[in-house]
Amino acid sequence: MDWVSILPPLIAILVVFWRKEVIIALILALISSELLLALQNNNSLLIGGFFGSIERIVTVVTSAGNSRILMFSVLIGALLAYIRESGGVAATVNMLLNRGVAKSKRQVGLLTMFTGTAVFIESNMSVLTSGIVARGLFDKFKMSRARLAYIIDSTSAPVCILILLNGWGAYVLGLLSNYELEQSAVSILWGSVAFNFYAIIALLIVFYTIVFDKVHGPMKAAEAELKQQATALEAGPAATKSRYMLVPLATLIISMIGFMVWTGDGVLANGSGSKSVLYATILASVVAYILLLSGKRFSHHELMDVGFKGMGELLPLVSIVLLSLTLGASLKDLGTGTFVASLVGDYLPIYLIVPVLFITGAIMSFTTGTSWGTFAILIPIGVPLIQALGLPPALVVGAILSGGIFGDHCSPISDTSAVSALASGCDLLTHVKTQLPYALLGGALAIVCFFIASVVMI
């Protein structure tokens, strides 16, 4: 009966695309997962289903790492509101236009991609920084927020997993260090970069859409719909000084690096992403508050109202992040990821093992909404295959990491998707729908690459 463990994520995905309602989809998936766990443990369905779901949420919230993510997701609303209401966004847009940094759609897209690439320390920080920088510019050039969400989402995780001098690299290195192989864990990890085909292809597709100003599928429809709307941009306050945006943003980036080093005991890659992003967001919000208060444009009470209003605007997305984390925890106990991983059969032709590992990782991360959870399950499966069959270690690890990134990209129940929508000011479902064709194309090309690499190297 292990196959039933795949039902909850399927319910979530089907309801999302049928009813176009993410929160209800996540709640139904969570309750169904808890009902299956109750049946599995011979518990009361009422207690295990309804009350079990409530207790699961409580358990998730009591996790320090999850609490930090939720606090960050709420507090970033205050920071965004301060930057927006200060007029700093409009001033920064005007400054970039006057200095010729962003004179065209292509330059705006490249600036957004560069910003997301430069902030490779943490994926949420990458999407947040590039989203804040680019929102006003995308509005100015009448580019859809869905396009912005796609660019920042498709830049963040691929860059983090390719550069590896961050928490992502430290995490995977820790998983690989549990095994004795002919090569060191470090050399295998760095060698996997060249074989992380999905991450590389995802970045190339983003680059193509920017340089040639080409969008396809639902994204093209979103762009056309935007052009048919009124040409007036979102009103907002008049431009004041660019420092009201740039100083808090610089504080966010610099303090993030500092907190990563601090929480990692002097080693950047060992730092805590959840701690650093929360501390940096709080500090940047305080700096924005002080700037506005000292500028005498707002009183303390007005700033409190602006901050809480900004936090309130993000509550629906924060609820989605919470339910995504909760569903992921429930699916872990249900064994969904382990069942999907077991689909890698013992009787596959040897040159199909690597492509199937990628496909398995993609399905697993898509249905569970977690790339790190996918790594944790598939690396213990892939490494013994390396040892038993003599498979190229870097190729196998590259396939596993690629599969995890795929789902992290396009899953409607991924917290990264939610944060990307949050940072760009785009509806979550619209973001998932417009990004999916690009992700599927990248996934298909990655399968071909892994197949060719397997034929050549094995």
CB 419 within 8 A of CB 128: yes
Give me the pLDDT at residue 354, please. 93
- Spacing of C-alpha 266 from chain mean position: 26
Three-class SS of the chain: CHHHHHHHHHHHHHHHHHHCCHHHHHHHHHHHHHHHHHHHCCCCHHHHHHHHHHHHHHHHHHCHHHHHHHHHHHHHHHHHHHHHHHCHHHHHHHHHHHCCCCCCHHHHHHHHHHHHHHCCCCHHHHHHHHHHHHHHHHHHCCCCHHHHHHHHHHHHHHHHHHHCCCHHHHHHHHHHCCCCCCCCHHHHHHHHHHHCHHHHHHHHHHHHHHHCCCCCCHHHHHHHHHHHCCCCCCCCCCCCCCHHHHHHHHHHHHHHHHHHHHHCCCCHHHCCHHHHHHHHHHHHHHHHHHHHHHCCCCCHHHHHHHHHHHHHHCHHHHHHHHHHHHHHHHHHHHCHHHHHHCCCCCCCCHHHHHHHHHHHHHHHHHHHCCHHHHHHHHHHHHHHHHHHHCCCHHHHHHHHHHHHHHHHHHCCCCHHHHHHHHHHCCCHHHHHHHHHHHHHHHHHHHHHHHHHHHHHHC
Please indicate whether residue 306 or residue 273 has the higher confidence score (pLDDT).
Answer: 306
CB 15 within 8 A of CB 24: yes
pTM of the model: 0.76
Per-residue pLDDT of 186-212, as tens digits, reads 888 889 999 999 999 999 999 999 999
Q: Which residue has the tokens 């924005």?
A: 288
Give me the pLDDT at residue 309, please. 94
Per-residue pLDDT of 32-61, as tens digits, reads 999 999 888 877 776 777 888 999 999 989
Give me the pLDDT at residue 334, please. 86
Give me the pLDDT at residue 15, please. 81
CB 87 within 8 A of CB 120: no
Is it the case that residue 233 has pLDDT exceeding 50?
no
Measured N-to-C along each axis, helices 167-176 and 371-389 cross at an angle, to the nearest 10 degrees, of: 40
| Short-list 350, 427, 347, CA closest to 395 | 350
CB 424 within 8 A of CB 116: no
Is it the case that residue 239 has pLDDT exceeding 60?
no
As a whole number, mean pLDDT of residues 275-284 equals 88
Is it the case that residue 236 has pLDDT exceeding 70?
no
Give me the pLDDT at residue 231, please. 43
Give me the pLDDT at residue 51, please. 87
Is it the case that residue 149 has pLDDT exceeding 80?
yes
As a whole number, mean pLDDT of residues 402-417 equals 85
Q: What distance in Å separates the CA atoms of residue 89 and residue 83, rounded to the nearest whole number?
A: 7
Burial class (CB in 10 A: 0-12, 13-18, 19+), 453: buried
Per-residue pLDDT of 55-103, as tens digits, reads 999 998 998 888 887 888 788 889 888 988 888 877 877 787 778 777 8
As a whole number, mean pLDDT of residues 141-164 equals 91
CB 201 within 8 A of CB 445: yes
Is it the case that residue 234 has pLDDT exceeding 50?
no
Of 131-140, 164-173, 341-350, which gets the smallest average pLDDT?
341-350
Please indicate whether residue 376 or residue 150 has the higher confidence score (pLDDT).
Answer: 150
Give me the pLDDT at residue 235, please. 45
As a whole number, mean pLDDT of residues 399-417 equals 86
Residues 6+ apart with CB under 8 A from 372: 171, 404
- Spacing of C-alpha 369 from chain mean position: 10
Please indicate whether residue 159 or residue 253 has the higher confidence score (pLDDT).
Answer: 159
Is it the case that residue 120 has pLDDT exceeding 70?
yes
Domain boundaries, the chain: 64-166+236-314
Q: Which two tokens stand for residue 93?
A: 């847009």
Whole-angstrom distance between the N-terminal and C-terminal Cα of the chain? 35
